[in-house]
Structures are given as C-alpha cells and as structure tokens.
Amino acid sequence: MVADQLEISGIVRNEPDGSVYIEAQGKLSELETFIEKIKTSPTPSGKVEKLVITKIPPIDYSSFQITY
C-alpha cells in the first residue's frame, strides 16, 4: 500500500455518496507524494475528479487503516 511505503498513518473509507474520505499524517514531503499518487491513480475506479485538502489537529494514528 502506498501509505505504508511512505510511512503515512491515518484512515481511509468509502462514503455513501461514492466519495472517499482520507485522514493522513506524516512528514510533509511524504504527504505531498501521497497526494500526487492519489491524484494520478491509474485505475478507472480510482479516478479523482475533485480533491479537497483540510488541515485538522493531529490524531495519534499508529498505522494506515481502512475503516467502515
């Protein structure tokens, strides 16, 4: 998983409206790479049409997990 390779921690989940919600934390350079990889996903189901980035207070995530 890209997040693991970049040592990004946080969560990802599919929302009822079809969007994907991600909370990610890590070093700034790794976060920038993570965002670029998300934006350029090669799979049709991973196509990014809109990206909204919001800073939130840090949460003590120990890994990157899929939540439901």
Provide the residue-wise pLDDT of the chain in tens; the chain has 68 residues.
899 999 999 999 999 998 999 999 999 999 999 999 998 887 777 788 889 999 999 999 999 999 98
Secondary-structure percent of the chain, ordered helix, strand, coil, rounded to 5: 30, 20, 50
Residues in CB range of 62: below 8 A, 6 or more apart: 9
Q: Where are the domains of the chain?
A: 2-66
pLDDT value, residue 34: 96
Residue 9 CA to residue 60 CA, distance in Å, equals: 9
Residues in CB range of 37: below 8 A, 6 or more apart: 2
Domain boundaries 2-66, corresponding CATH code: 3.30.70.100
